[in-house]
Each structure stands twice: as structure tokens, then as C-alpha cells.
Structure 1
Amino acid sequence: TEWERLSGTTFSGVYAQMASVHMEQYGTTREHLSRVAVKNHENGAKNPHAQLGFECSLEDAQSAPVVADPLNLYHCCPTSDGAACALIVSEDVVDDYTDDPIRVAGVGAGSDTVGLFQRDTYTGVPASQRAAETAYEMADIDPDDLDFAEVHDCFAIAELLAYEDLGFCEPGEAGQLIESGATALGGDLPVNTSGGLKSKGHPIGATGAGQVVEAYKQLSGNAGERQVE
């Protein structure tokens, strides 16, 4: 917000504060943050459209220069140039466009204050929680029914928070989830098969549409080396 920027706070600074509180409250570690980067770079290396389409080792991710403690360079996504498009039509005209459509089973939306100082919690995003609950209810599913997910990993801690906000694990257990390998390609619930914002890139306005494109590719069986079985 305007007041936070006056004190020199940046996006990386905001997420660094969230990471610090999560680490203090739940025992999340820098290694957990680095494992998010390693996983997403591994996926991004299989994506020809990724900006940073190369793998990185845990050692590389651990030893990168600090940006805003505890976040280092490998815990932060790049800002990218890019474009994405998704054609969404009603059921009554879908046959005019394709013989094999992907149908949207549920949607949800939520909003919250931008200012971190105005939030009730530093270790979750209530807007994401409300949006997920609405979408799950509309689709008549729960998190255990998901085969994969694309989440907003502008910073590594954001992906860990998404695990908890979307119900992939209980609050405070995101570090254990990434460490278990469950969210890796081939795990029980692959997350950010595209490489995420961390590897694929963050073209701001096109980022969300790019995640929809990855979901379409996965659901239509056209994700190549990244295909979830």
C-alpha cells in the first residue's frame, strides 16, 4: 500500500515478512523454500516456453544471493514478457469450436486488503481460501480429488502458502509436503507443472491466462514431457 511503500516495503519485502512469520510459527525452513525453486525449475526445463528453462540444484538454490531475508534470488520469480490466450464459450456453441472441449466444473473468487498491516494473518491468504471453497463446492469435489494444480508462486513462500490455503495440507504442513515430493511431477499432486512463475516466468497480466493454458494442456493430454498421468 501507499503507507507501506513509504517505509521502503517492496513485494519481495512483504513476502519475506510472511515467510519469516511462517518459519517462526511452524518451523518452515529456507531449505523448504529452496525445494520449491528446485521443483519448479525441473518442470520448467521441460517447458519450451519457460523464460528460465533450466534445472537448478538444491545447493544452487540455497546459496543464491539474498534479496529480502529469508528470500534469496532463487526464491523470487522473474518479471517476463509474454502472452497467453484462452477461448471460453458457452455450452450451446462449444461444438462450433472444438470436438473435444475442456469443461469448467467450478469457479471461485475472493478479495482481501492489499496492506499486510491490515490483514488478520501473515501465514495465509483468506481470499484464496474463500475462492477455493467456492470452486470446490460448485464442482462438488474436495482437494483430494485434484490431479494437479497451477498456483501463484511469485515467491517460493507463496506456493507453500497456497498448499495450505487450497487445502492440500493442514496449516503449517506445507514444508513437509514439499519435502515429501508429493507436489513434484510424478508425485501425488503435482503443482506448477509448467514451471510456475519461478521458471516459466511472470508476465503479470498474462500470468493467470498462462496457468489456464497449462491446465488445458494437462487436461487434454498435450503437456508433453510435463504430462501428468
Structure 2
Amino acid sequence: MTENVHVISAAMVPFGKHRSSSYVGLAVPPLIDALRGAGVEKADVDAVYVGHSYGGMMTGQRICKEIGLGGVPTVNVDNACSSGATAVHEAWSAIAQGLVEVAVVIGVEKLTQFGGGTLPLSPEDREVKQGIVMPAVYAMRANRYLYETEATPEDLALVSVKARRHGALNPFAQFRTEVSVEEVLGARPVADPLTLLMCCPTGDGAAVVVLASERARARLGISSSMRVAASVLHSGRVSEGFRDMTYPEISAHSAHDAYEAAGIGPEDLDMIELHDAFSIAELVYYEAFGLAERGRGIDLIRDGRTTFGGDVVVNPSGGLLAKGHPVGASGVAQIAEAFWQLTGNAGDRQIDDARWAMTHVTGGGTAGLDHGACTVHLFEAA
């Protein structure tokens, strides 16, 4: 693969509870905005990739027909929470191989269709049959981390406080009010030690990015973009028996491979959008990404090193905890945030002189795998 690939436009709708909207209704406005933002006509689009988990058959085709976009390959991607990011990976791969020059990636999900509660999981999974749900998985991870390290529930609360502070600056975030440590700890218990404010909300949303080859970028006269420096997709390893829940191997391996591909290290990053579905996740990902030693992720959150003015800004968008987590849309929304940051268009949450960004999202879990899927992207301001 020799073709440079660029993200040349991004758009999204505010995440939240859009009960009266359909998948098509959620996705069409940002699709139009992203195409207009790039100056791309329908005739310029060579392929469309659509990430979703619960949209049903031909979600992408149903969306694209509303704007008269047809006749090109439209690929629907389901990879659980990593669906949108996987769709971006597929678009990047096609352009890097010279198969297409301009690709549109849509991430969309409508979780309010389920009425509330935890996400439905595969009934064939033996752990699901025993009653496992995602809040319980992360609660077990949190309890083990608290047991093995010096971390306290207050550290978990600090992650949520930071997320809400960042989300308050983001007009696309589902939650835009700040909270205190005391409010987080005093919120309704969900799965000990996690409280409601340590868990991402249920919601709906859509995000769209446009990717282009170097040639197409020049042809379209795009002067502001970000280069895809690495795109890594891994599925989980078969791993029966004991699992170290404090060390997400799939994320560590994916990040390592991305660093190798881009020729940089964690010290070079200016921002990270990571999969903080529950507050404990951010602490363990600090360590998996090489930002901190094992057991010392707490130092970063306690010392303010992962917020504005720190070493690296983690989840400037507010992350899943504040921005929301409509699963198929989340990975694309992360990349939209990176695009706005690296092109200087992030408004009140702009990171000074941002050059390098990482996005990371994991998808699903099933008995016998260390995780379902993990997608890591590295981007450089162009």
C-alpha cells in the first residue's frame, strides 16, 4: 500500500435521544454536510462504507438513496462498537490500494429503539446466558483494578468529571453540564463500584467523514486535511480460562502496531479519542497505550495530565461518557473530532498546535475471546 489517504471533511449530528428519527433521518443531514464541506459532488464518490450494529438490512443503501447517491459499492459493516471505525479502516484500505479515490464513511445508530437498559447481546454466548451484561464486565474490571493498584473510587469519578468538563465545550455532546466528584460518587449505583455517571449513556446519532487519495485531494483543491498515518484492525485472540481484566491486550497490541506503522510513539500524541464506555476503561487504556506504567494510570488523571494544558488531551470531545455512545456512530465521531482538532476547527475545545491524534474503539465481547474487535487510527495534520 503506497497511496497516502486523507480525511478531507467531517460532520455529525448532536448525539442524544432522537426518538422520532430513523436511521435514515439521523444520517442524511451529516452526509450532506460532509459532502458539501469537502466540495465533493455525488459523481466524485467511488464507494460508501456504513458502520452500524442494529440498523437492519441495507442501512447504507437506504440512506444514500435519499440524496440520489447510487451506482457505487455500498458496504454495510457490523463490528459491534467498532463498526464505524472498521468502516473507516475498510475505506482507508481501498484507497491505499488504489481501488478507489474518494470514499464516504457513515456511522449511525439508534439505540432508543430498545427503550432503555443495557445493549442486547448474542443469546448464543454462554456468558450472556449466565446473565453477563457490559456494565457488569466493566465493574469486575474496576474492582480488580482497585484491588491490584492504589486506585480508589474517587479516581474513577475523576475520569467522569473530566469527560463532562470537556463535553460542556462540545455542541455535539449528549451531556453538556459539568459534574463534581461528589455528584459522580453519589449517583445511582449501577454495578459496584460503578455509578450511573461512570457509565456512558444510551442515545442515537450519526457521523460522516470523507476520505480521499492524495490525487483526489489535489484535484478537489483541498488545502486543510489530516493524513491517515496508520489504520489497524484486530479481532480478539482465542483465550479460554483466566483473563487479566486490568490489561486489555487487544488494545495494547493494536496501539503498538499503529505506532510502528506511523513511526511515532505515545509521547508524540497531542490528543486521543478512546473508548471510555465506563470510567475504568480510560485508566486501563492509559497503560495499554504506553502513557503510563501498569497500575499508574491514576497518576495521569490525578495530576491533570490528560486534559487541556497537560501531556496529551484525552477525549476532548467529552468521550463516550459525555458525548454519548450510539455504537455504530462512535468510531466515526471520534475521527470527526480528530479532524476538527488537527485542522484547527474545534472551537472552544481546540488543542493548541495539535499535530498528532489517535482514535481507538473496541467492539463487543464474547466468551473465549479476549475481546471482539479493536480499531486504532493515527492521524497527522496535513
CA drift at 1:114 = 9.0
Structure 2 residue runs without a partner (length 5+): 1-121, 353-382
Runs of 4+ in 1 over 3 A off after TM superposition: 117-120
User: Partners of 2:262 and 2:336 in 1: how far apart?
Assistant: 20
User: Partners of 2:161 and 2:275 in 1: how far apart?
Assistant: 16
CA drift at 1:124 = 1.4
Q: Would the alpha carbon gap of residues 80 and 113 (structure 1) be closer, same or farther in structure 2, given more than 3 Å must change?
A: farther
Percent identical among aligned pairs is 43
Say which of 21, 29, 32 aligns to 2:155. Answer: 32
1:126 maps to 2:249: yes
**Which residue number in structure 2 is paired with residue 108 of structure 1?**
232
CA drift at 1:216 = 0.4
Say which of 251, 267, 271 aligns to 1:144. Answer: 267
The alignment's C-alpha RMSD in Å is 1.5
The 10-residue stretch of structure 1 (101-110 or 134-143) with the greater mean CA deviation from structure 2: 101-110
CA drift at 1:109 = 2.3
Q: Could you give the per-residue CA deviations for residues 118-173 of structure 1, whole angstroms, max 9, x where no partner exists? A: 46311111111111111111111110011111000000011111111111111111
SS at match of 1:105: strand
User: Partners of 1:6 and 1:76 in 2: how far apart?
Assistant: 23
1:94 maps to 2:205: no
Pairing of 1:70-219 with structure 2 (within 5 A) = 70-97=193-220, 98-112=222-236, 118=241, 120-219=243-342
SS at match of 2:177: coil
**Which residue number in structure 1 is paired with residue 186 of structure 2?**
63
User: Partners of 2:329 and 2:214 in 1: how far apart?
Assistant: 25
TM-score (norm 1): 0.95
- Which structure ranks higher in relative contact order (CA pairs < 8 Å, sequence separation ≥ 6)? 1
Q: Would the alpha carbon gap of residues 146 and 119 (structure 1) be closer, same or farther in structure 2, given more than 3 Å must change?
A: farther
SS at match of 1:149: strand
Structure 1 residue runs without a partner (length 5+): none
More strand by share: 2
User: Partners of 2:144 and 2:233 in 1: how far apart?
Assistant: 26
User: Contact 1:109 / 1:130 at 8 angstroms: preserved in 2?
Assistant: no
Q: Would the alpha carbon gap of residues 119 and 193 (structure 1) be closer, same or farther in structure 2, given more than 3 Å must change?
A: farther
User: Contact 2:225 / 2:339 at 8 angstroms: preserved in 1?
Assistant: no
SS at match of 1:99: coil
User: Partners of 1:114 and 1:204 in 2: how far apart?
Assistant: 24
CA drift at 1:12 = 0.2
TM-score (norm 2): 0.58
